[in-house]
Structure 1
Amino acid sequence: METDDYCIVDDSGDGGTKARTIQKGGNSADERDMRRMGKHQELRRNFKLVGIIGFITILQATWESTLLANYFGLLNGGTAGVIWCTIATWLFMLCMIASLAECASIAPTAGGQYHWVSEFAPPSLQKSLSYVVGWCCCLGWIAGIPACAFQLAGLVQEMVLLGYPDANIQQLWQQTLIVFLFILLTVGFNIFFAHHLPLMEGIILFLHFFAFFAFLLVLWIMPKTHQPAKEVFTTFYDGGGWGNIGLSCLVGLATPIWCFIGPDAGAHMSEELKDASLQLPRAMMWATCLNGIAGITMLITFCFCIDDLQDIVGPDASSYPIIQILYKVTNSYAATCLLGSFLVLLLFFSTITTIASASRSVWAFSRDGGLPYSSWICQVRPEWEIPVSALLVCLVASLILSAINFGSNVAFQAILSVSNAALIFSYIVSIICIRLKRLRGETLLPRRWSLGKFGGLINDLTLAFLVVGFVFSFFPAYPSVGDSTAAADFNWSILIFTVTCVVAMVYYTMGGKDKYIAPVSLVKEE
């Protein structure tokens, strides 16, 4: 078999790996985990517990997302729908994150889901199934980059239009060029300032909580009136025209899922975290608990400030109503831009962390020969200690996905939906595999963070929710099938997802299976 298209790691067990691991900031537990998985420590372990909590917290940016991505939830569900769906989503997501955290404790590797599938799936499916999951995971994370950049571009445009309503900056090509700019800046930060990322995460984490209280106080104190609690918590709305409130709320799940998606980000950074098998599960749970409390509090506060829902989701409404709400309650352009700038800065660093996680996912999959040109993608130059080639792949792929916006103004919804769907698919397969081991009574590998006797129940609750979330990730905002505008309103994410899976299987069949090394084949028995 030729080895020029992937990176093989051979640990002779002579102590060399331990010396390299300790030198790169790890400890004996990290060295033991890497040796068991047959991996070589190539990245420096710069992160510790607080840093990785900050990384996951900032990437999810839950309270910021409840302000920036609430349009679809309000359109399909109204204030009551988006609030109750967000609370339910948070509780189910905690179950999901607990399930993934247990997997991460068993195998703390940058490969994340595809590695877990390779280890836990039935032997006959370990290679092919982990291969498809690897492609979907890479798609989900790469699609998350332009989705964040679209939010950044839209937020900047909205603030400009607030002060200059006649400004000509709303053309699709103008928005797309702004998206390109943000992608280039955030990828550049990951290449040239990567070693400062843990420090920056700590600083931005402080800003994350400082800005949270600033927004909360403004929205609590400055409005002249707030909506009655009964109206906020009981008024549902079917703005999409689905004809059923329950169905409309399920379609609106894209908003709360987007607010909590990406808890596996920490897993993809696990080879840069000290004492990963213990600290990573803790960080995943702490980050989502804190983000959930902050996000739900902010969402409820925001909904109390909505005087007329039609102004928020009507045909002439902005996709970023938070700017209009801030201007209305402060009556100051300067104050609105200052608060909006906080959102831009926080979302900018959320995009940076998304790129970091995406690049590590691509790098890890290439290390096992899962992508074309894997031997180049998986290269890590010793003097850089970061996967620059994988970052460049993320850059090019993000720009290509963003270019959809040149021809269609529904690009953001499609890219956001495909990011949700692809990541959810990888979570579903990973958790099914570990659930099957429990059903069969097979002994799970030793782990330092365990679900114990509640593992099966938590896995079942997670899978029930994820299947629903996966299906409704492909729904459009409006049921326009058969209408003349169907093509314009169609959610093209299902096409992107399907094409990716087909390409993955064709490449696998045409020779990829000979180059791909399933991670389980490198694992050493304990």
Structure 2
Amino acid sequence: MTTEEWQRDSDNIQVEPTGTSMPDEDDRRIIELGYEPVFKREFGRLSSFSFSLSISGLYAAIGTTFGYGLQAGGAPAVVWCWLIAGSGCMCMALSVAELVSAYPTSGGLYFTLKYLVPTKYIPLTSWLCGWLNLLGQVTTVASTDYGCSQLLLAAVSMSTEFCYHPTAGHTIGVMAAIAILHGLINSLSTKWLDRITKWYGIFHLVVLVSASTSLLVCQKEKHSAKYVFIEIQPHSGWSPVGFSFLFGFLSVVWVMTDYDATAHIAEEIQNAAVRAPQAIASALFLTYSLGFLFNIVLAFTMGDIENLLSSPTAQPFTQIFYNVLGRTGGIIFTLFAFIILNFCGISVLQANARTIYAFSRDELLPFSKVWIRINSYTQTPLIAVWLSVTLAVSINLIGLGSYTAIAAIFNVCAIALDWSYCIPIICKLIYGTETGRYIPGLWNLGTFSTPINYWSVIWTAFVSVIFLMPTNQPGTVENMNYAVVILIGILVFAMIYWFACGARKYYIGPRTNQHCHKEKDNSWDFVSSLCENDQVTRF
């Protein structure tokens, strides 16, 4: 069967199960899209929103990236870069949410290419999109766990009045323990993950309000409005000043990314075609607006910029709380950041495991039959969970030899994710109406869709250049940004795997129920036996 014949046949197949065990509308949609429903839909409106909000890890993520804005241009870069870059990120989030509504599967935007490009282009475009998305997901897990370790050790250092200085070995060791903890939590059933997730957003918002209030009340020597909004102080070494200012965008883009994480748990969300995009859009808008206000608070209360950039913990954010609130206050709010970033780590690990599962059922990954296995008790892909943990720890082990190398890998996460979103968006703009297969979901942008899609692509292209440049001058071997090397290396690997290892001979894109035959028994109990490419092993 040719790719064109497979596409035509699979698009015309509608499996309508009958019998005593009937699927709900969400599962009917998954069957129509060609997959066997295997997850329990435990995530409701609150937990879906909380999951999306936790992905940004706003309070903690600002904490771990605050130094980029300070080096780029001081307080004005911290404030204005958030406002400018955040608008671009919001356009991308809205564009992603629209596609998620149309095709709410664990494959996320990768799956949408089945309906967005001409049939002959589906295999190669989905292959590249899938590998970029997987690269972004894996490095996001690794960088989040590493950030958790840094925050915890910063609190320990603070408790010793900075007599203790964390080593690379300490950081990696704590990171490994944190990654295993996240793996254990993700080994629970979806029901328990739903119960835990509901608290993420509530705790996060409480910490954000209490941190802002504490800084504003306790900092007696606040900066002037002119200092915060106008007086640019570049410390990156780049010139002119305007170019240095651009590097402040990096902090924002690292915080406001991984928009499709909620898409990867869409098969576990109730009324996913509506609630998944709603969660993405509302959580990112809250992140954008509250992040802007929180950065203004930090800019007014941060004190001397030189003191922050030379912080013994190498964390200017935690140094602000130490300077303003003293050792106890500093430790408490640093630990709050640690807890919130753990919430983020648990969520990105769950999304990554579902990504591996979704890609494996389409045979995009090596040894796909192993990673697709579903645990019969938890009804979740436990092997994929622990593969994610193993990859995260393995990547972070590079930090024992070179922080520069591991930083380059972390730099790749946002750019890889954003381009894995841009590929489907670009295809939608070029071929969306031409293919005749794309139908907007219940949640869509209407007449604003096209301009928002265009701006999200233009913004990503612009900020990608900044992501691939060193943030400080003069450039040295130590501070060079090797992200471009990692990114090209992964793309070369994916293409070698495609051409040399024979992937192009068996990979046909998202593998839906092209082998289902309606003349056979269509009952719910026999869906998996009718769909040869969607057999799921349970253990």
| TM-score, normalised by the number of residues in structure 2 | 0.89
2:492 equivalent to 1:502: yes
User: Retained in 2: the 8 A contact 1:17–1:35?
Assistant: no
Distance 1:138 1:266, change over 3 A: same
* Aligned partners of 1:172 and 1:406 also within 8 Å: yes
Identity %: 24
SS of corresponding position for 1:459: helix
Matching residue within 507, 510, 515 for 2:506: 515
Q: What amino acid does structure 2 have at the position aligned with 1:434?
A: K
Which among 315, 320, 325 is matched to residue 315 of structure 2?
320
Aligned to 1:15: 17
- Measured in 2, the distance between the counterparts of 1:18 and 1:155 equals 52
CA distance in 2 between partners of 1:269 and 1:419 (Å): 19
Letter in 2 for 1:160: V
SS at match of 1:371: coil
Q: Which residue of 1 aligns with 2:240?
A: 244
Q: Map Cα deviations across residues 346-365 of structure 1 (whole Å, 9 max, x no partner).
A: 11111000101111111101
Pairing 1:67–2:63 present: yes
Q: How far did residue 95 of structure 1 move?
A: 1.3
1:333-373 CA deviation, whole Å, 9 max, x = no partner? 22322222221111111100010111111110111000000
The separation in 2 between residues aligned to 1:407 and 1:49, in whole angstroms, is 44
2:82 to 79, 83, 86: 86
Any conservation in 2 of the 1:156–1:344 contact (CA below 8 Å)?
yes
2:480 counterpart of 1:490? yes
Which of 196, 220, 226 matches 2:222? Answer: 226
2 CA distance for matches of 1:317 and 1:118? 51
Change (3 A) 1:379 1:248: same
**In the TM superposition, what are the counterparts of 1:135-146 in structure 2 within 5 Å?**
135-146=131-142
One-letter code of the match for 1:13?
V
Q: Aligned to 1:489, what secondary structure does the other structure show? A: coil
Task: Identify the residue that residue 454 of structure 2 maps to in structure 1.
Answer: 460
| Cα distance in 1, alignment partners of residues 235 and 427 from structure 2 | 39
Residue-by-residue CA offset, 1:455-514 (whole Å, 9 max, x unaligned): 111111111101112222222222344xxxx22112222222211111111112122223
Partner letter of residue 159 of structure 1? A
Q: Hey, what's the Cα distance between the residues in 1 that align with 2:335 and 2:133?
A: 31
Q: Is the 8 A contact 1:105 1:281 kept in 2?
A: yes
Contact map agreement 1:437 1:444 (CA 8 A) in 2: no
Letter in 2 for 1:15: P
| Residue number in structure 1 paired with 2:193 | 197
Matched with 1:266 is 262
Q: In the TM superposition, what are the counterparts of 1:113-192 in structure 2 within 5 Å? A: 113-165=109-161, 167-192=163-188
- State whether residues 63 and 337 of structure 2, in contact with CA within 8 Å, keep that contact through their aligned partners in structure 1: no
**Quick one: distance in 2 between partners of 1:476 and 1:318?**
22
How far is 1:246 from its partner?
A: 2.4
Report Cα offsets for 1:292-319 as digits up to 9, x if no partner.
12211111101111222122224x6643
Which secondary structure does the structure 1 equivalent of 2:259 belong to? coil
Equivalent position to 1:398, from 392, 397, 415: 392
* Equivalence for 1:339: 333
Indicate the RMSD between aligned Cα atoms, in angstroms. Answer: 2.3
Report Cα offsets for 1:363-391 as digits up to 9, x if no partner: 10111000000011111133221111111
Structure 2: how far apart are the matches of 1:249 and 1:113?
Answer: 32
Judge conservation of contact 1:37–1:519 (CA < 8 Å) in 2: no
SS in structure 2 at match of 1:224? coil
Mapped pair 1:44 → 2:40 = yes
The answer to whether the 8 Å contact 1:44/1:272 transfers is: yes
Cα deviation digits, residues 158-215 of structure 1 (max 9, x gap)? 1222222464542211211111111111112111365311111112221111111110
Aligned position for 2:358: 364
Structure 2: distance between partners of 1:287 and 1:116? 22
Residue type of the partner of 2:464? F
Q: Distance in 2 between matches of 1:427 and 1:354?
A: 17
- The C-alpha deviation readout for 1:401-437, integer Å capped at 9, x for no partner, is 1011011123553233110111011011121011113
Residue identity matched to 2:498 = Y
The residue identity in structure 2 corresponding to 1:378 is I
TM-score of the aligned structures, taking structure 1 as reference length? 0.91
In structure 2, how many angstroms separate the alpha carbons of the residues matched to 1:154 and 1:472?
25
| Structure-2 change in CA distance of 1:166 and 1:98 (3 Å) | closer
Residues 401 and 441 from structure 1, CA distance in 2 versus in 1: closer, same or farther, beyond 3 angstroms? closer
* Secondary structure of 2:352's aligned partner: helix
Runs of 4+ in 1 over 4 A off after TM superposition: 9-12, 165-169, 438-443, 520-524
Task: Measure, in 2, the Cα distance between the counterparts of 1:189 and 1:340.
Answer: 22
Distance 1:261 1:50 in 2: 20
Within the alignment, does 1:35 sit opposite 2:31 as a pair? Answer: yes
Q: Secondary structure at the match of 1:410?
A: helix
Q: Which runs of 5+ in 1 are unaligned?
A: 2-8
Quote how far apart the aligned CAs of 1:452 are: 1.2
Listed as ranges, the matches of 1:419-434 within 5 Å are 419-434=413-428
**In 1: Cα distance, 2:209 partner to 2:366 partner:** 47
Moved more, 515-524 or 149-158: 515-524
Partner of 2:525: none
Report what 1:476 is aligned to: 470
In the aligned structure 2, how far is the partner of 1:411 from the partner of 1:355?
22
| Partners of 1:18 and 1:317 in 2: CA distance | 65
Deviation per residue, 1:61-116 (Å, 9 max, x gap): 22332233111121123211121111112212221111111111111011012112
Change (3 A) 1:248 1:338: same
Q: Provide the C-alpha distance between the structure 2 equivalents of 1:162 and 1:221, rounded to a whole number of angstroms.
A: 22
Amino acid at match of 1:228: S
Aligned partner of 2:276 in structure 1 is 280
1:12 is displaced (CA, Å) by 7.8
Structure 2 gaps of 5+ residues are: 2-9, 517-539
Contact 1:76 1:238 in 2 (8 A): yes
The aligned residue for residue 6 of structure 1 is none
Task: Give, in whole Å, the separation in 2 of the partners of 1:388 and 1:292.
Answer: 33
Q: How many aligned positions are there?
A: 505
Q: Is the 8 A contact 1:17 1:40 kept in 2?
A: no
Question: What residue in structure 1 maps to residue 377 of structure 2?
Answer: 383
1:96 aligns with 92
Amino acid of the structure 1 residue aligned with 2:180: L
Residues in 1 aligned to 2:480 and 2:244: alpha-carbon distance in whole angstroms:
16
Aligned partners of 1:197, 1:456: CA distance in 2, in Å? 36
Give the CA deviation at 1:516.
2.4
Cα separation, 1, equivalents of 2:513 and 2:167: 51
Alpha-carbon shift at residue 443 of structure 1 (Å): 6.9
Measure, in 2, the Cα distance between the counterparts of 1:86 and 1:138: 27
Quote the offset at 1:127 in angstroms.
0.7
